[in-house]
Homo-oligomer: A and B are copies of this chain.
Amino acid sequence: MRPKESHPRLAGGKVSESTIRRLSLYYRGLSSFERKGYKTISSKDLAKEGRLTPAQVRKDLSFFGSFGTRGLGYPVKELKEKIARILGLNRTWNVALVGVGNVGSALVSYKEFPKQGFNIKLLFDNDQRKINKNHKGIQVFDVKDLASKLKEHKIDLVILAVPASTAQAVTDDVVSAGVKSILNFAPTHIKVPDDVTLRSVNMAMELEHLSFSLVNKGYPLKF
C-alpha cells in the first residue's frame, strides 16, 4: 500500500485546530521520550502523554504519513522530526512584540519561545520613556514605525500585548506590513483579512471556564 501524502495540505484540507493541538502534544511527548533515551514508542505510550486513545494517535499519524511497525512502534527521532517539520518547528521565526507592559515583558522572558525557534527580534511601544532603549537586550521602537520596521526586519509573526483600545489599529498596521500570523493577548475581538491567521489568548476567558465548572459542580472539564 502506498503511504498517504505526508503534507496535510494534500490530504483534503481537513486539518482542524484540535489536530494541530494533538500534534503539539505528540511533539512534546516525543521530545520527552527522546530525552529519556527511547528509540521507539508505541501508540499507547504516546496516547498517554496527550490523554488520548491509541486509535486516535494511529489515525492522526497515518494521516500525516507515519505508520508504526507492529511490535516495535514508531521511531521516536524520525517521528519527532516529521512533526516538527509539519508544525514549522525545524527552523527559526522572526517575532516582533508590541506593547512592553506587564504581559509583554513576561512574554519577552518566556524561555519556551526561543527553545522552539521563536526569536523575539523587535519590541514596540508608544511610551516615550521606553522607546529607543533596550528591554532585556532587545531594542524598543516607536509603534509609529511599526509597519516599516516589520518589513525591514522580515518579521514572520507578531505578538500583541497592547490594551484593548489600541489593538485594532495596531493590527491594521501589522497586516499592512504583510505579516500573516498574529498572537493576540489584548482582551478584545480584532478583525483580520482571510489570509491572516489570528490566535487570541484571553486569560479572563480561561478563568470563566473554571468558574463555570465551579458553579456547575459535576462538570469538571478537562481540556
Contact = CB atoms under 8 A, between A and B. Distances in A.
Contacts of A134: none
A200 B187 contact: no
Contacts of A103: 106, 110
Interface string A99-136: 00011011101101101111000000000000000000
Interface in A178-221: 180-183, 187, 189, 194-221
Interface residues of A, number: 74
Nearest to A95: B207
A157 B199 contact: no
A218 B107 contact: no
Contact of A9 (B20, B102, B216): B216
Interface stretch (A35-43, A71-79, A81-89): A81-89
Contacts of A195: 220
B17 A180 contact: no
Interface centre among A8, A207, A218 (most CB of B within 10 A): A207
Given A17-B221, A49-B189, A221-B17, A212 B110 contact: no
Given A112-B204, A204-B116, A86 B215 contact: yes
B181 A210 contact: yes
Contacts of A20: 208-209, 212, 221
A82 to B, nearest CB: 13
Given A102-B106, A105-B102, A109-B102, A197 B221 contact: yes
Given A106-B103, A221-B17, A24 B113 contact: no
A55 interface: no
A93 B189 CA distance: 25
A106 B97 CA distance: 15
Which 6 pairs, one residue from A and one from B, show the smallest C-beta to C-beta distance? A88-B211, A106-B106, A88-B215, A112-B204, A197-B213, A181-B210
Interface of A: 7-9, 13, 15, 17, 20-21, 23-25, 27-28, 49-51, 85-89, 93, 95, 102-103, 105-107, 109-110, 112-113, 115-118, 156-157, 180-183, 187, 189, 194-223
